[in-house]
Structure 1
Amino acid sequence: MLNITKNSLHQKVDLTGYKAGTIVFHRRHFKQFNRFLAAFALILLIVLFLPWTQNIAGKGYLTTLKPDQRPQTIQSPIPGRIEKWFVREGEHVQSGDTILFISEIKNEYQDPDLVARTGQQIRAKSQSVFSYEEKVKQLEQQIGAQQLERNLKLKQARNKLYQANLKVKSDSIDLEAARTNLSIAQRQFDRSTQLNEEGLKPMTDVEAKKLKLQETQAKLISQENKLFASRNEVINAQVEINRVQAEYTDKIAKSRSDRATALSNQYDSEAQVTKLENAYTNYQIRQGMYYITAPQNGFINRALQSGIGETFKEGDKLVSIMPSDIEMAVETYVDPIDIPLVKIGEKVRIQFDGWPAIIFSGWPNASYGTYGGEVVAIETFISDNGKYRLLLAPDPQDHPWPEELRIGSGANTMALLEDVPIWFELWRQLNGFPPNYYEPDGKEEEVKRIKVKI
């Protein structure tokens, strides 16, 4: 019967003689079987032309729509030691609630009056700055007084020089007069001597003229001495002017040097005041860091540092917190071959882990237990798993997601593409072609509007 051997039994045994053979080999059964095959072929042909929704499958997990709503850890910006806990794991906290209190472990910050003493240093340095400012003002006044005194001294010395020059002119005129008188006295003496020799003048007249000549010579010599003395006074007046200029230049230069030194000390004190104010503000802010507070409303997940007296370094994680006010989203991954087909606004069906669902990938409307999603972000760089990351938000036109969902649970996604006949989908799958490329509803009209505006 199985044709295992060359001795065929059906050639030796007549099977139609048996009741079962009569039923099987009756012509009526062949007609029914043929009708069944024809009906099945007709149904299969009709099914091949039924619509089939192409989709891109992916697997991801629940996350939040905004980065600040995702689970986070709270770090301490300063090293310290745990002194007291104010919360327990699983407790709900409000933004600003104190989670724990820490203390300093660095020696330079352990003084309890550090802020107050730094404030005292700031006040002392500020007084020093004020003192230097006053000194600078006094030195500026001193420089002004010295400049005024120098101008007066120079005017006085120039007046003396002018007087000396006038006196030189006066003495020069007197000298010329004395020379003229000497010349006259010499002529008179010569004339008297000649007349005396001729007997016209007595000897007494000659002697008087000689005496007058001698007096005139003496006056000439005296006037020459006066002229030289006046010229010496002119030189002395010029020397006095130079001395006054040199003296007050030195005094003013010294005052300016003192002023520059005072200004330098003032600027140095101002820099120290600024540095102390910076340190004062830092100390105040640092003391505010002793109380670790909740950055937002949420639940305390886990205490990463436990116990009392335990020390930690700067930036160490202390506690993890899960925000309570969140907007759910799904983070899923698709293959690189499918990423060009996905656009912002794409409709996606999601099956959450723990929620039973009956899924017909080609007929999403016939599926049960899936929820609607919409693509809101597409990663532009491939992830470590070799796929591209998509972020899905709840579809506002679909029924809302379950409230019992928790961040981190798994989710299977199906991005819905174009509706095609089943025969086309089978042909595409057999040939390994990607799904059809298309724009989501409304995107083409939006692109046209943008082009028209441009």
Structure 2
Amino acid sequence: MLNISNNNKINENIEKYSTYKNLSERPHYKILNKIIIRVSLLALVFLFLPWTQNISGTGAVTTLKPDQRPQTIHTAIAGRIEKWYVKEGDFVKKGDTILFISETKEEYLDPNLVQNTESQLKAKEMAQQSYGGKVTTLSSQIVAIQNERNLKLEQARNKIRQSILKVKSDSMDLIAVKTQVRIANTQFNRSSTLEKEGLKAVVDVEEKRLKLQDVEAKIITQENKLLTSKNELINAKVEINRIIAEYNEKEQKARSDQYTALSNQFDTEAQVNKLKNQYSNYKIRNGMYYIKAPQSGYVNRALQSGIGETIKEGTQIVSIMPSKYDIAVETYVNPTDLPLIHKGEKVRIWFDGWPTIVFSGWPNMSYGTFGGKIVAVENFISSNGKFRVLIAPDESEEAWPKQVSIGSGAQTLALLDNVPIWFEIWRTLNGFPPNYYQPKGETTTEKK
């Protein structure tokens, strides 16, 4: 055992050796201690440096607008390929002819189909005008019948009034004749009485008898005249009914003819509209034999080939890439990161084949990255299990390289909140998502 006591210490025994003295006096221990202390302080300071949280994504270069993306031209009608006007790689302007096809359906084989349909259309239009003129003529005829009926009725009413007055006149004449009969009868009776008394001569009595007989004959004649006047009044009333019935029949016949003409006119108008539709369809169909470029661009690939081949409606013909387009990037993010993505946020992008040095936590120190801005966020998950995000160039930063082609790969970093490095290390070790936050201007207040 060691002999350790207050009088016999180990240090005092060691210090007397020269080796210990040499080792204890070497300077590198002090330097190492200083380095460790300074590195520790530097690491401590480093943990409090700001770190930008981000969401990474992988995507490809595309165009901002749907009409600027590569498109496939289809044929609208069935036909047979007759002539090609372009080849792959050619530049075509809007409206340039790409392909000519001929007709294959038998109902459209007539070369003069459009002209014949136009002739039929003109003939039907003339028939429509004729029916319109007939309708107008019948309308005038109906007005004339109504006017003539009114005049006839006025004439018949005047005749009724005349007959009424004549009946009244004959009635008064009959009353006067009856009065004369009474007077003549009285005079005859008086003369007979005076003749029997010898105061009158027989000749006077005979004269009174003749006068009485004459007056009695007049009453019969007057009664006949009265009956004739009444019959004329009845005939005048019957004439009014006859006139009304006659002219109503004429008017109804004219109206029936008018309705028939109107029906024919409307039927002809329907046929005219149908022929117009057919004429327009045939004319448009003739223009579909020439398949034209919908916009200026380059012919990427001919999807059909050969001469004389038959194609159906909707067959793909060629693929065209527009010559003018606004570049954009579509990237995909995980569903857990979707709540952190907002429209209008800044994004850093680097393209495949472009020299890049990326520091994800310090975007300002990255080299070869370009600025972008989120313009659309898809709310429905894609087939790859992620959500699609569309990014446009940030106009306030450096423009994207023109050498980047559509379809090339791209990597994206969506910049989120700024946190200390120690917090990011702690979050990563625990598997927590980045901080959830709402950008300025998007917070809303609920109203009760």
State the match for 2:138 in structure 1: 139
Q: 2-side partners of 1:197 and 1:117: how far apart?
A: 117
Which secondary structure state, in structure 2, belongs to the residue aligned with residue 436 of structure 1? coil
Q: 1-side partners of 2:368 and 2:326: how far apart?
A: 21
Quote the offset at 1:219 in angstroms.
1.0
Q: 1-side partners of 2:416 and 2:141: how far apart?
A: 91
State the match for 1:88 in structure 2: 87
State the match for 1:421 in structure 2: 420
Post-superposition Cα deviations, 1:362-382, rounded to whole Å, max 9, x if no partner, equal 233333333322222222333
Aligned length: 422
Moved more, 401-410 or 218-227: 401-410
Post-superposition Cα deviations, 1:263-319, rounded to whole Å, max 9, x if no partner, equal 221222222222222222222222112111111111111222222222222222221
Q: 2-side partners of 1:142 and 1:415: how far apart?
A: 85
Q: 2-side partners of 1:148 and 1:361: how far apart?
A: 100
Q: 2-side partners of 1:134 and 1:204: how far apart?
A: 86
Quote the offset at 1:132 in angstroms.
1.2
Which secondary structure state, in structure 1, belongs to the residue aligned with residue 198 of structure 2? coil
Distance 1:330 1:447, change over 3 A: closer
Moved more, 410-419 or 236-245: 410-419
State the match for 1:10 in structure 2: none
Distance 1:51 1:152, change over 3 A: closer
State the match for 2:15 in structure 1: none
State the match for 1:221 in structure 2: 220
State the match for 1:183 in structure 2: 182
Q: 1-side partners of 2:365 and 2:165: how far apart?
A: 129
Give the letter for the 2:243 counterpart: V
Q: 2-side partners of 1:149 and 1:306: how far apart?
A: 80
Alignment map for 1:44-123 (pairs within 5 Å):
44-123=43-122
State the match for 1:234 in structure 2: 233
Given the alignment of the two structures, is residue 344 of structure 1 paired with residue 343 of structure 2, yes or no?
A: yes
Q: 2-side partners of 1:196 and 1:257: how far apart?
A: 82
Quote the offset at 1:244 in angstroms.
0.7
Q: 2-side partners of 1:439 and 1:222: how far apart?
A: 123
State the match for 1:209 in structure 2: 208
TM (norm. structure 2) is 0.87
Moved more, 229-238 or 144-153: 144-153
Q: 1-side partners of 2:254 and 2:310: how far apart?
A: 59
Alignment map for 1:11-410 (pairs within 5 Å):
38=37, 40-410=39-409
Q: 1-side partners of 2:346 and 2:402: how far apart?
A: 21
Q: 2-side partners of 1:31 and 1:61: how far apart?
A: 56
TM (norm. structure 1) is 0.86
Which secondary structure state, in structure 1, belongs to the residue aligned with residue 389 of structure 2? strand
Give the letter for the 2:163 counterpart: A
Which secondary structure state, in structure 2, belongs to the residue aligned with residue 58 of structure 1? strand
Moved more, 132-141 or 46-55: 46-55
Give the letter for the 2:68 counterpart: Q
Quote the offset at 1:260 in angstroms.
1.6
Q: 1-side partners of 2:212 and 2:112: how far apart?
A: 104
Q: 2-side partners of 1:361 and 1:144: how far apart?
A: 94
Quote the offset at 1:35 in angstroms.
6.2
Which secondary structure state, in structure 2, belongs to the residue aligned with residue 329 of structure 1? strand
Q: 2-side partners of 1:241 and 1:345: how far apart?
A: 91
Q: 1-side partners of 2:285 and 2:124: how far apart?
A: 23
Quote the offset at 1:396 in angstroms.
2.9
Which secondary structure state, in structure 2, belongs to the residue aligned with residue 412 of structure 1? strand
Q: Considering only aligned residues, what root-mean-square deviation do their CA atoms show, in Å?
A: 2.5
Moved more, 154-163 or 238-247: 154-163
Q: 1-side partners of 2:177 and 2:220: how far apart?
A: 9
Give the letter for the 1:56 counterpart: I
Quote the offset at 1:351 in angstroms.
2.4
Quote the offset at 1:231 in angstroms.
0.6
Identity %: 63
Quote the offset at 1:180 in angstroms.
1.0
Q: 2-side partners of 1:196 and 1:415: how far apart?
A: 156
Q: 2-side partners of 1:61 and 1:47: how far apart?
A: 35
Q: 2-side partners of 1:207 and 1:395: how far apart?
A: 146
Quote the offset at 1:258 in angstroms.
1.0
Give the letter for the 1:433 counterpart: F
Post-superposition Cα deviations, 1:380-414, rounded to whole Å, max 9, x if no partner, equal 33333332221112233443333222212221111
Which secondary structure state, in structure 1, belongs to the residue aligned with residue 199 of structure 2? coil
Which secondary structure state, in structure 1, belongs to the residue aligned with residue 335 of structure 2? coil
Quote the offset at 1:255 in angstroms.
0.8
Distance 1:347 1:155, change over 3 A: closer
Which secondary structure state, in structure 2, belongs to the residue aligned with residue 195 of structure 1? helix
Quote the offset at 1:230 in angstroms.
0.8
Stretches of structure 2 that go unaligned for 5 or more consecutive residues are 1-18
Moved more, 380-389 or 167-176: 380-389
